[in-house]
């Protein structure tokens, strides 16, 4: 039995991957029970070619019907295209079937279909539960885990002997605090990305002029608006801004909405104006505000509590630039589940898994930081600066690092499909 901390995308992918290969998993979800699980941070997301293939291989039904197929990613500035990534061309380079989808999808919809797939596989999910302690058992690879469930008078404690523990419990991972060395647990490896954002889902008017087949970044003087279609009539929109340090967001949805509208009132791009007008007219009450960090751990496996590993945002929160964060979380879960099922030694399996992923995850994080700094630069951009920015962005979007990421997602997804 493998214990999985966290019932989000990474945790569910891990549990589903273990179940698909005959392994056993128990998911501890810190949030209370709901119709399909916890309210996780995301609002909308992008699934790469490989992530879609992986979910299909894990038995998640009708993945391609859960969102909108995207043709490309485009970066605009003042009406001009600065950079573009053609998803269909990328698919051809990877040897994928014609029309292999990249999907824009609501995070709630994605989580719901994954949650339902886990329930259908009869994977145990324990609500309002966390690991309170994780200790190695002497002369054994197994772990003795204390499980804390509930709060106050209803609190309960139990123990379980586990083959391994996978921490899929986000940036502020409790698993990391319990199982990793003091330096990592202290939070020194959690870095601030340098910007904040509002995000929401809006109805898209037919006359808005928004390309509903593309992931669009519209940028201007330290601000950027990311538009991801998630249904034929709705889009996930992220309004980002450069910020030297995080600040507590206002609690009131109405205050957030007014601050957002004021901060972007001079944004001239017609796609953005259409979205802002819709937010103003609808009086949207669902606008989140966040300052995204990213995690830069030196390793994904615990040096003091083997076999314990981290996946998803607990291991490497990605700045949301490419839309790769969710795909990486799925890839983490699928690959770690396969590694644990294909080895007699959980410690050795996790160590090899970590070594194989370390370098290319670091490359993606560095690439995301570089692109983020370009998009959120507040420097005045003349003709030459704009050309240089266009060159850097285009090179980043079409470069080998990003292409290799899609390649890895696809290859592992295809391998799992072939073994079913």
- What's the pTM value of the predicted model, to 2 decimals? 0.87
Tokens 């390793």, residue located = 299
CATH superfamily of 2-46+108-191+293-378+400-419: FAD/NAD(P)-binding domain (3.50.50.60)
Angle, vertex CA 408, rays to CA 4 and CA 169, nearest 5: 20
| The pLDDT of residue 245 is above 60 | yes
**pLDDT tens sequence across 341-390:** 988 899 999 988 888 887 777 777 777 777 777 776 655 555 455 555 56
Alpha-carbon distance of 136 to 134, in angstroms, equals 7
33 to 19, 28, 115, 151, 168: CA distances (angstroms) = 22, 11, 12, 14, 18
Q: Taking residues 48-59, report their average pLDDT.
A: 87
Domain ranges of the chain: 2-46+108-191+293-378+400-419, 194-290
Q: Would 2-46+108-191+293-378+400-419 and 194-290 be classified into the same CATH topology?
A: no
Helices 325-341 and 346-375, packing angle to 10 deg: 170
Q: What was the pLDDT predicted at 19?
A: 96
The answer for residues whose C-beta is within 8 angstroms of residue 156's C-beta and 6 or more apart is 148, 149, 150
More confident residue, 117 or 92: 117
- The answer to whether 217 touches 226, Cβ cutoff 8 Å, is yes
Least confident of 171-175, 321-325, 344-348: 321-325
Report how far residue 311's alpha carbon sits from residue 318's, in angstroms, rounded to the nearest whole number.
12
User: Region 93-106: what's the mean pLDDT?
Assistant: 79
| Per-residue pLDDT, 29 | 92
Lowest mean pLDDT across 29-38, 44-53, 82-91: 29-38
- 33 pLDDT higher than 50: yes
pLDDT digits (tens, 9 = 90+) for 192-220: 777 788 888 888 877 678 889 998 888 87
Instruction: Kindly tell me the burial class for residue 208, based on how many C-beta atoms sit within 10 Å of its own C-beta (0-12, 13-18, 19 or more).
Output: buried
Element (DSSP H or E) covering residue 401: helix 400-419
- Out of 1.10.1740.10, 3.30.9.30, 1.10.600.10, 3.40.50.300, select the CATH number for domain 194-290: 3.30.9.30
* Per-residue model confidence as pLDDT tens digits over 70-89: 998 888 887 788 788 888 87
Tell me how far apart the alpha carbons of residues 320 and 135 are, in angstroms, rounded to a whole number. Answer: 34
Percent of the chain at pLDDT > 90 equals 29
The answer to whether 202 touches 261, Cβ cutoff 8 Å, is no
At residue 414, φ and ψ (nearest 5 deg) are -65, -35
Burial of 31 by CB count in 10 Å (0-12 exposed, 13-18 middle, 19+ buried)?
Answer: middle
Peptide bond into 248 cis (omega under 30): no
Element of type H or E holding 110: helix 107-120
Residue 291's pLDDT is 77
What's the average model confidence in pLDDT over 108-134?
Answer: 93
């Amino acid at each position: 039995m493998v214990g999985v901390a966290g019932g989000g995308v990474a945790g569910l992918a891990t549990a589903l991957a273990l179940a698909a290969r005959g392994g056993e998993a128990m998911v501890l979800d810190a949030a209370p029970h709901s119709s399909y699980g916890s309210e996780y941070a995301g609002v909308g997301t992008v699934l790469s070619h490989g992530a879609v293939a992986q979910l299909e291989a894990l038995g998640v039904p009708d993945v391609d019907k859960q969102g909108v197929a995207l043709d490309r990613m485009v970066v605009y500035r003042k009406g001009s295209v600065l950079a573009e990534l053609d998803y269909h061309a990328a698919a051809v380079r990877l040897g994928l079937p014609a029309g292999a989808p990249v999907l824009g999808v609501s995070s709630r919809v994605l989580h719901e279909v994954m949650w339902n797939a886990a329930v259908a596989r009869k994977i145990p999910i324990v609500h309002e539960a966390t690991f309170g302690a994780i200790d190695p058992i002497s002369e054994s690879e197994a772990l003795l885990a204390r499980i804390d469930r509930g709060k106050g008078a209803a609190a309960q404690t139990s123990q379980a002997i586990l083959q391994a523990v996978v921490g899929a419990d986000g940036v502020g991972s409790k698993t990391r605090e319990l199982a990793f060395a003091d330096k990592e647990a202290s939070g020194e490896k959690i870095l601030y990305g340098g910007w904040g954002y509002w995000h929401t889902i809006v109805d898209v008017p037919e006359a808005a002029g928004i390309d509903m087949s593309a992931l669009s970044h519209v940028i201007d003087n330290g601000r950027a608006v990311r538009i991801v279609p998630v249904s034929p009539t709705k889009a996930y929109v992220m309004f980002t801004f450069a910020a030297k340090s995080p600040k507590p967001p206002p609690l009131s949805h109405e205050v957030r909405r007014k601050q957002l509208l004021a901060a972007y009132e001079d944004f001239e791009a017609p796609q953005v104006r259409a979205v802002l007008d819709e937010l103003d007219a609808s009086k949207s009450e669902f606008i989140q505000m966040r300052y995204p960090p990213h995690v830069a751990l030196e390793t994904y496996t615990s040096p003091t509590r083997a076999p314990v590993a981290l996946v998803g945002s607990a291991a490497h929160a990605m700045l949301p630039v490419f839309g790769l964060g969710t795909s990486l979380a799925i890839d983490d879960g699928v690959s770690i589940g396969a590694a644990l099922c294909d080895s007699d030694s959980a410690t050795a399996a996790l160590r090899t898994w970590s070594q194989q992923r370390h370098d290319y995850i670091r490359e993606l994080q560095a690439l995301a930081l570089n692109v983020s700094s370009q998009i959120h630069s507040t420097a005045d951009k003349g003709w030459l600066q704009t050309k240089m920015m266009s060159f850097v962005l285009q090179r980043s979007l079409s470069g080998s690092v990003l292409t290799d990421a899609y390649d890895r997602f696809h290859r592992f997804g295809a391998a799992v499909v072939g073994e079913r």
